[in-house]
Each structure stands twice: as structure tokens, then as C-alpha cells.
Amino acid sequence: MSNKITWRGGTLIAPVPPVMVSLGSMESPNILTIAWTGIINSIPPKTYISVRPERFSYNILKESMEFVINLPTSNQVRAVDFCGVKSGKDNDKFKLMRLTPKQSTRVSAPMIEECPINLECRVSDLIELGSHTMFIADILAVNVSEEYVDKNDKLWIDKCDLLAYAHGEYFRLGDKVGSFGFSVRKKKKR
């Protein structure tokens, strides 16, 4: 075992999903890349995104109180990065990244058609935390590209080739090494 070096408190939980959050409307869509997101409740299904107030998308979010979390593939890494560093104030990110806004089923914000998984969200609470405001939201619908779902409605998420973000770098997810509960599952008798 190695010795530990202690640093001051920081945001080093990794990997996290770098998601493209779409917001606005079909007429005026925008994309914002977010790394501060996750699931916070199962029943009802709830998520969050944390956004800096100085971001162009912040006021759009506060006005509409709706957004879509789009899970990108590793092939979309350039779009993910671009949408995180360029402002929607000066750029049509959908057009520049050759992404397609698609009408959502439950919210006015469009989803990104090219992303394999889209979570339609409506904000229920805002928490001002300091550098960021947390937008807590109900997940109203999940859209999955049918090519990743088999005839038994099982989602083969490993086939989606999702992207991960860790300490300033993007990664392709690796090989499956287990499944929930495998460590305590009883072995089948032959």
C-alpha cells in the first residue's frame, strides 16, 4: 500500500458523465455541457444539474424550468467539449456541431437526436450553492434509441459507447467487470 498525499477539499470524484444539456425551444435551442449532474432519487426519479449563474444558459433555464440531459457517445467528444467552452450567446451550437434538435415528448426543450439516451426534465427546486446553482428536476421521460434495446426491452447500455470525464479529460467507458448484486448472488446448481 502506498502513502497518501493530502490536498485541500476539491471536486475530485471521477469519472462523471459529461452530458449535453439541451434547453430553450425548437425555435431557439441551445446546448450546455455539464459535468455536475447525477441521480438523486429513485421514486420519483430525480436528477440535478449545477450551473454557474454567469453562463448564458442560466437565465434560459430559470425562465423555462425545463431541460433535457443528453448522454453523448465517445464519437461526440468534440461536440461535448465545444458546447462546454463556447457560449450559446454567440454560437448556434446545434448548427456548428451538426446536431439535430428533436421535439421532446414531455418538455418544451428539444432533445439531441444523435445522442442515444435523453432524459426530459422539469425543475422542481433551485438551490444556490456558491459558484453554482443546483437545478433539481423530475425526470418525466427517458428516450432511448431503439437500436440499443432488444426484443425483450432490455437496454444494452454498453453498446451506446458512452463518454466519461475525469479530472479534465474525456474517456471512452471500458469493459464491464460486474453487475449489480453479483458479489452476493448464489451460484446456480448444475
Q: At 40, which CATH number?
A: 2.30.110.10
Q: Confirm whether 180 is domain-assigned.
A: no
Residue 119 lies in a domain: yes
State pLDDT tens for residues 94-143: 999 999 999 999 999 999 999 999 999 999 999 999 999 999 999 999 99
Q: pLDDT digit string (tens) for 9-43?
A: 988 888 999 999 999 999 999 999 999 999 999 99
Name the pLDDT band for 187 (thresholds 50, 70, 90): confident
Counting the structural domains of the chain, the total is 1
Domain membership flag for residue 182: no
Q: Provide the grid cell at 110.
A: 428539444
On whether the CB atoms of residues 124 and 137 are closer than 8 A, the answer is yes
Can you give the pLDDT at residue 147? 96
Average pLDDT over residues 45-62: 97
- Tell me whether residue 157 is in a domain: yes
User: Quick one: pLDDT at residue 17?
Assistant: 93
Choose between 174 and 100: higher pLDDT: 100
Give residue 1's pLDDT band: very low, low, confident or very high (50, 70, 90): confident
pTM, whole model, 2 decimals? 0.93
Does any domain span residue 8? no
73: helix, strand or coil:
strand
- Given a cut of 80, whether residue 189 has pLDDT beyond it is no
**pLDDT tens readout for residues 54-64:** 999 999 999 99
Torsion 51-27-138-16 (CA) sign: negative
Q: How far is CA 76 from the centre of its chain?
A: 13
Question: Which residue pairs, CB below 8 angstroms and at least 24 apart, start in 73-78?
Answer: 73/115, 73/116, 73/160, 73/161, 73/162, 73/163, 74/161, 74/162, 74/163, 74/170, 74/172, 74/173, 75/161, 76/20, 76/114, 76/115, 76/163, 77/163, 77/170
Per the structure, the complete domain to which residue 82 belongs is given by: 19-172
Residue 31, φ and ψ in degrees, nearest 5: -130, 140
Whether 162 maps to a domain, the answer reads yes
